[in-house]
Amino acid sequence: MTDAATVLITDDSLVVRAVVRAHLETAGHRVVEAEDGEDAIAQCHESPPDVILLDIEMPGLDGYEVLAELKSDVELRDVPVVFLTDRTSMDDVLAGLRGGAHDYLKKPFEPAELVARVTAALNVKKLQDQLRERNADLDRLSRTDVLTGLRNRRHLEEELVRHHDEARRHHDQLCLLLLDIDHFKRVNDTYGHPAGDVVLAEFAQLLRDGLRVGDIPGRWGGEEFLVVLPRTGRDGAMQVAERIRLSTAGASITAEGQHVAITVSGGCAVGPVSSADDLVRAADTLLYAAKAGGRNRILATAPPAGSQTTVLPLLPDVR
């Protein structure tokens, strides 16, 4: 929110709007006007204000109806609403507060009271915005792998289920890559765990560089990385996978003063199938097969026939 907060005055009286505007602009606020409820809602959708001053009695939509409309909109429901009213009944006031209004101001009002109540509403809006930003930051942290900066397993699982369900619903293609850095234990044993962390972070960057807009990469766990490829068939997924494999084999990684050469193996599962978990299992089986077949390779299932995906038999863990 900028220093010059925007206040929307909604009142069918031109005189009331002019008086309120004069006082609020003197107090340093930016003021916009709406002459009725429909106009107010339209302006809020176009450019949400920081506070809304809302008359109760207006032609067309009254103040209660406008308030209900605003509170039903996820983008507008947190904008504080201060009712302007010449009604003296406490029932009318309580009806507005129960509907979600922040405050009310009785006409005629004192200029100082008007500014004070708008200022209080602005403070509430500022705190709400700060809380929303903090919650968004916490949510990002809870979904981010600290070492690599990629999304973590929690986020990947949710995104995979969402995209898999959408692919089944809309009969779209979907592929999944499960990638594993070859002989990663050897890297840790030879160069130390700090070097292993560098390798993981460098591979994460190689992964980002090899993907397209809309692909969803993340760290699945340990040295395993998973990539969700929405609306992508087998050929397109294998092009992406091979680009990542080749860039990894050709990368020059320096960790703890040592040059570390790495390769990556992977499984590319083609979906959608019966469930997101089954798609992960298919990719995991293919990854095992790529490891058993010599590493530094990507294996893929055949394109799905109906709802079935060809899966290779489970092999011993050779990672």
Residues annotated as catalytic are: 223
Residue with tokens 């490829």: 229
Supply 195's token pair. Answer: 């070097």
Please state, as a whole number, how many other Cβ atoms lie within 10 Å of the Cβ of residue 145. Answer: 21
Rounded Cα distance between 57 and 292, Å, is 77
Supply the DSSP symbol for 72: T
Rounded Cα distance between 193 and 187, Å, is 8
Q: Where does the chain show beta strands of DSSP type E?
A: 6-10, 30-34, 51-55, 81-85, 103-106, 174-181, 216-221, 224-230, 253-255, 258-260, 264-271, 298-300
Residue with tokens 């680009």: 243
Residue with tokens 């995906």: 309
Rounded Cα distance between 52 and 10, Å, is 7
Pairing of strands 103-106, 174-181: unpaired
Question: What Rg, from alpha-carbon coordinates, does the chain have?
Answer: 29
